[in-house]
C-alpha cells in the first residue's frame, strides 16, 4: 500500500504546469471509435483513468500506440466489438462514454451498468432517456444495458432534466451519425464539452452551439480520423494548485490552462482574500491577508465546479469566520469533511450543506483519501498542518493527477510517496 506523507509548515512557491484535462481526454478517446483509422491525441495526461479507457478501447479491438508520454495514436479501424465488460466499467464510470460512439458506428452497444460511486449515484437514466429520443431501444439484462437501433439513429429534440456532462457527451457522439438534426436543450456547457465538439467537427461532424445551453447537431454519413488534436488544459488540476497557493500564501504561477475556464472560482477566491493575477494560459496566486469566510454553492458550468468543492472547503476551514458550502451536484461529496475534521477542522454537515467554522490551523494526522479531489485536498491541508500528515488510499489521487508528488516537491513542499505494509498483512 502506498501513502503520501506531508510535513507541514514549509513554504511553497514557483511555477507548475498542468496536464491535459482528464475529463476531456477520456471522452476524446471514446470519440475515436466514430472515425475508423488512426487519430492522434496530444496533451493526454498519463493517469490511471486514461489507462483504463485505453483498456476499454483495446478490448473493443482498437490499437493504441504511445508516441510519447502525452501523445496517443489510437487506431480504431479494427474495432469489431460493441460490448464493454463490467470489470473495466467498475474501475471508471466514465467508460460508459463509449455508449454513444458505439451506437454511432454500429447502431448497437452492450455496456455494463456502472453501479454506485463514492461521490454519488451518477445515474445513467438521462443518457438512456435522451438516446431513446434518437430511436435507441434499451433493455437491461444481467446487469448489462443492451442498446439497439431497429430503425437507425434519427435526429430529434432532447431536453435534459439536468445539465449532465456525461449525457450531453453521449448524445453528441451518437447524434453526429443520426439522420437529420438533433437538438439538445439544457445541454452541459463545460469547456470539455466544447473540446469534444471541436474534435467531432474536425472529424467532419456538424455540431453548433457547444458551450451554450442549446446544441444542434446535423448528422453526417461518416467521420474521418484526425492527424492531431490537443486536449484542453485541465482547469481542475489548475484550480487545485491555485487553492494550494492560496492556503500557503507565497506566489505560485499555474500554467497550461485557460483562466476563463475557472472564472467563478477565481472570483470567489478573490472574495476570500487571495491575490489573483490572470495572464495568457496562466494565473499567479498569492495571499497576504487572512482567508475571508465566503459562502459557495456548486452548480454546472459556468457555476462553481463540484470538482473544486473539497479544495475550497479546505481553504474555508481556515477562514476568519463561518460560512456555508452547498453541494448541488453529487450527494456524497462531503465524505472528505470527516477526514479534514481529524486534522482539526470544524465542519457540520446538514443534508447537502456544510457549515464551516474557521479554525486557527490544522494538526497533522493519518487520513484516508475518500475520492479523487478529496484526496488531493487532504494533501493540501497537510502542507500547512502542524506536524506530519499521512494520506492513504492514494489510488484515488492517481486517477486524476499526473506526477502529483514531484510537482509539489518542485514547488518546495516536503512531501514523499512511500510504500507501507498493508494493515491486513501486519
Domain regions of the chain by residue span: 2-18+233-419, 22-219
CA distance 390 to 166: 34
pLDDT average, residue stretch 3-13:
97
Q: Torsions phi, psi of 420, nearest 5?
A: -125, 155
> Which phi and psi (to 5°) does residue 409 adopt?
-60, -40
Query: In this predicted model, what pLDDT tens digit does every residue of 401-424 receive, in sequence order?
Result: 999 999 999 999 999 999 988 755
Q: Mind telling me the catalytic residues?
A: 117
- Binding residue ranges: 22-23, 93, 307, 329
Which has the closest alpha carbon to 42: 227, 257, 260, 281? 227
Sheet containing 388-392: which strands, arranged edge to edge? 366-368, 388-392, 2-7, 414-419
To the question of domain 2-18+233-419 being in CATH 3.40.50.300, the answer is no
Instruction: Look at residue 424 in the predicted model and tell me its pLDDT.
Output: 55
Contact (Cβ atoms closer than 8 angstroms) between residue 50 and residue 26: yes
pLDDT tens per residue across span 20-41:
999 999 999 999 999 999 999 9
Contact present, 133 and 156 (Cβ < 8 Å): yes
Q: CA-CA distance, 373 to 356, in Å (whole number)? A: 18
Q: What is the pLDDT of residue 123?
A: 66
Contact 289, 320 (CB under 8 A): no
Rounded to the nearest integer, the mean pLDDT of the chain is 94
Predicted TM-score of the model (pTM): 0.94
Superfamily the domain 22-219 falls into: Enolpyruvate transferase domain (3.65.10.10)
pLDDT of residue 423: 57
Sign of the Cα pseudo-torsion (300, 304, 310, 313, in order)? negative
End-to-end CA distance of the chain: 12
Report the percent of the chain where pLDDT is more than 90: 87
Distance CA 131, CA 21 (A): 26
Q: How far is CA 117 from CA 90, 91, 121, 330, 352, in A?
A: 9, 10, 6, 10, 17
Q: Output the known binding site for phosphoenolpyruvate.
A: 22-23
DSSP 8-state code for residue 244: H
Bigger pLDDT: 5 vs 87 = 5
Please tell me if the domain spanning 2-18+233-419 has the same topology as the one spanning 22-219. Answer: yes
Q: What is the mean pLDDT of residues 394-398?
A: 95
User: Strand 353-357's sheet: what is its strand order?
Assistant: 296-297, 322-326, 353-357, 346-350
Give residue-wise pLDDT tens across range 318-368. Answer: 999 999 999 998 777 799 999 999 999 999 999 999 999 999 999 999 999
* Residue 350 CA: distances (Å) to CA of 94, 355, 369: 29, 8, 22
Whether the pLDDT of residue 167 is over 90: the answer is: yes
Rounded to the nearest 10°, the torsion over CA 403, 409, 415, 419 is 40
Binding residues for UDP-N-acetyl-alpha-D-glucosamine: 93, 307, 329
Amino acid at each position: 500500500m502506498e501513502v503520501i506523507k506531508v510535513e507541514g509548515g514549509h513554504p511553497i512557491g514557483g511555477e507548475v504546469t498542468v496536464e491535459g484535462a482528464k475529463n476531456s481526454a477520456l471522452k476524446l478517446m471514446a470519440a475515436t471509435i466514430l472515425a475508423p483509422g488512426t487519430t492522434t491525441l496530444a496533451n493526454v495526461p498519463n493517469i490511471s483513468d486514461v489507462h483504463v479507457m485505453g483498456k476499454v478501447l483495446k478490448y473493443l479491438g482498437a490499437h493504441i500506440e504511445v508516441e510519447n508520454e502525452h501523445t496517443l495514436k489510437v487506431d480504431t479501424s479494427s474495432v469489431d466489438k460493441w460490448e464493454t465488460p463490467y470489470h473495466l466499467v467498475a474501475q471508471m464510470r466514465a467508460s460508459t462514454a463509449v455508449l454513444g460512439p458505439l451506437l454511432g458506428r454500429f447502431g448497437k452497444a452492450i455496456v455494463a451498468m456502472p453501479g454506485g460511486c463514492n461521490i454519488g449515484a451518477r445515474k445513467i437514466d438521462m443518457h438512456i432517456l435522451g438516446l431513446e429520443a434518437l430511436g435507441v431501444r434499451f433493455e437491461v439484462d444481467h446487469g448489462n444495458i443492451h442498446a439497439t437501433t431497429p430503425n437507425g439513429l434519427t435526429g430529434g429534440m432532447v431536453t435534459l432534466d439536468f445539465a449532465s456532462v456525461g449525457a450531453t457527451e453521449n448524445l453528441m457522439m451518437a447524434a453526429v451519425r443520426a439522420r437529420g438534426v438533433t437538438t439538445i436543450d439544457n445541454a452541459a456547457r463545460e469547456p470539455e464539452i466544447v473540446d469534444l465538439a471541436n474534435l467531432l467537427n474536425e472529424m467532419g461532424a456538424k455540431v453548433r452551439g457547444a458551450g451554450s445551453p442549446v446544441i444542434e447537431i446535423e448528422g453526417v454519413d461518416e467521420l474521418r480520423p484526425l492527424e492531431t488534436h490537443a486536449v484542453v488544459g485541465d482547469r481542475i488540476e489548475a484550480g487545485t494548485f491555485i487553492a494550494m497557493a492560496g492556503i500557503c500564501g507565497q506566489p505560485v504561477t499555474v500554467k497550461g490552462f485557460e483562466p476563463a475556464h475557472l472564472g467563478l472560482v477565481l472570483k470567489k477566491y478573490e472574495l476570500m482574500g487571495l491575490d489573483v493575477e490572470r495572464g495568457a494560459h496562466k494565473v499567479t496566486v498569492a495571499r497576504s491577508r487572512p482567508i475571508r469566510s465566503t459562502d459557495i454553492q456548486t452548480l454546472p458550468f459556468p457555476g462553481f465546479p463540484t470538482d473544486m468543492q473539497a479544495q475550497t472547503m479546505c481553504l474555508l476551514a481556515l477562514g476568519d469566520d463561518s460560512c456555508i458550502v452547498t453541494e448541488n451536484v453529487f450527494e456524497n461529496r462531503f465524505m472528505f469533511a470527516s477526514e479534514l475534521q481529524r486534522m482539526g477542522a470544524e465542519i457540520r454537515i446538514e443534508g447537502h450543506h456544510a457549515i464551516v467554522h474557521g479554525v486557527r490551523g490544522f494538526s497533522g494526522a493519518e487520513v484516508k483519501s475518500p475520492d479523487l479531489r478529496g484526496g488531493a485536498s487532504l494533501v493540501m491541508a497537510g502542507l500547512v498542518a502542524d506536524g506530519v500528515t499521512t494520506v492513504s488510499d492514494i489510488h484515488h489521487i492517481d486517477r486524476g493527477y499526473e506526477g502529483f508528488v514531484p510537482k509539489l516537491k518542485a514547488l518546495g513542499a516536503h512531501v514523499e510517496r512511500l510504500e507501507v505494509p498493508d494493515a491486513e498483512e501486519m
